[in-house]
Amino acid sequence: MKVFRNKVAAITGAGSGMGRCLAIQLAQEGCHVAISDCNEAGLAETAAQVARHAPGVTVTTHIVDVADRAAVHAWADDVAAAHGRVNLIFNNAGVALSSTVDGMQYDDLDWIIGINFWGVVHGTKAFLPHLKASGEGHIVNTSSVFGLFAQPGMGAYNASKYAVRGFTESLRQELDLMDCGVSATTVHPGGIKTNIARASRVSPSVNGLLVRDAQQGREEFEKFFITTPEKAAGIILDGVRANKRRVLVGPDAYAADAMARLLPAAYQSLVVRETRRKRKALMPDGTPAAASEGERA
Ligand SMILES: NC(=O)c1ccc[n+]([C@@H]2O[C@H](COP(=O)([O-])OP(=O)(O)OC[C@H]3O[C@@H](n4cnc5c(N)ncnc54)[C@H](O)[C@@H]3O)[C@@H](O)[C@H]2O)c1
């Protein structure tokens, strides 16, 4: 899709981070936006910022939990009715979980897969008929660098983001074959300066193995956030304009992609070695925190 002016874009997780920046930048290009989030205050702030930056566009807001299939389908129908059509869906809402597989609670696994994977599936299936009906549509599904390579403590997040990648790459090929006027892109951001680490769940199982405690784990996570969400949104929109199958966001995403291609299995020993080195630097005296001192945010 070369031009966003006068199109209609739906965005999940628009109450913060990249979702908010996508809404503002699309609106600045004259695209009407239907924004949703489960966080009411964040969503209202995004709506206010869109109105300030782009007073001429139509903005609709809906409180939607993307893990709720019926709610996402109802939202898609409401958006099509309110705006008259829908051209783009950005399945952007996401959460993070830091936990070993051994110490993982099924509740946490259901939570993250429900949002990161099922949320993307719901958004794709609910909006696809409307995108087809519009004659010119695009589905933008957010995976991660953790959909390109795996890391210890990220098994559930890795699973959700690899799943988004496989789902969307297959979808894109089907849409190409259907020649139906709809396309799809998978987005793999590197570290982006957003609220994701602060909103993450951290299991006590990573204490001592990877980090000292949950707080220090979140701080370590944030050290890798090198790209602003504004820049990330610009890169994503350029990728949609160019009809790319895969969009890498940030220099770290290019480095991760190169590592996964050059060392598709052997990269794991590099990650383990680097994790051991960092753990020694963080905890020179060995395991400092008992597993029970961890926290679930
Ligand atoms: N920030 C990064 O470094 C990074 C890297 C790779 C991928 N990502 C992915 O980018 C996407 C956007 O994340 P972000 O970094 O802007 O984080 P963010 O925390 O700033 O924004 C995520 C938004 O999703 C919303 N959300 C959470 N659960 C939801 C639910 N059940 N239903 C609806 N909305 C929900 C939150 O309220 C929040 O507004 C996510 O899919 C994330 O996994 C982020």
Q: Which of 11, 12, 16 to mutate to test the pocket of ligand 1 (most atoms within 8 A of CB)?
A: 16
**Residue ranges per domain, the chain?**
8-293
CA-based nearest residue to 157, from 186, 187, 107, 200: 200
Model pLDDT, residue 14? 98
For 8-293, give the CATH class.
alpha beta
Please choose from 12, 18, 112, 193 the residue to mutate so as to test ligand 1's pocket, defined by most ligand atoms within 8 A of CB: 18
**Ligand 1 near 37 CB (within 6 A):** yes
Cα–Cα distance measured from residue 12 to residue 37, given in angstroms and rounded to the nearest whole number: 6
227 CB near ligand 1 (under 6 Å) = no
Condensed to tens digits (0 to 9), the pLDDT of residues 160-191 reads: 999 999 999 999 999 999 999 999 999 999 99
The Å distance, Cα 17 to ligand 1 centre, comes to: 7
Using 50, 70 and 90 to split pLDDT, how confident is the model at 295? very low
| 23-59 pLDDT, tens digit each | 999 999 999 999 999 999 999 999 999 999 999 999 9
Angle, helices 69-83 vs 118-134, to 10°: value is 30
Q: How does the average pLDDT of the chain come out, rounded?
A: 95
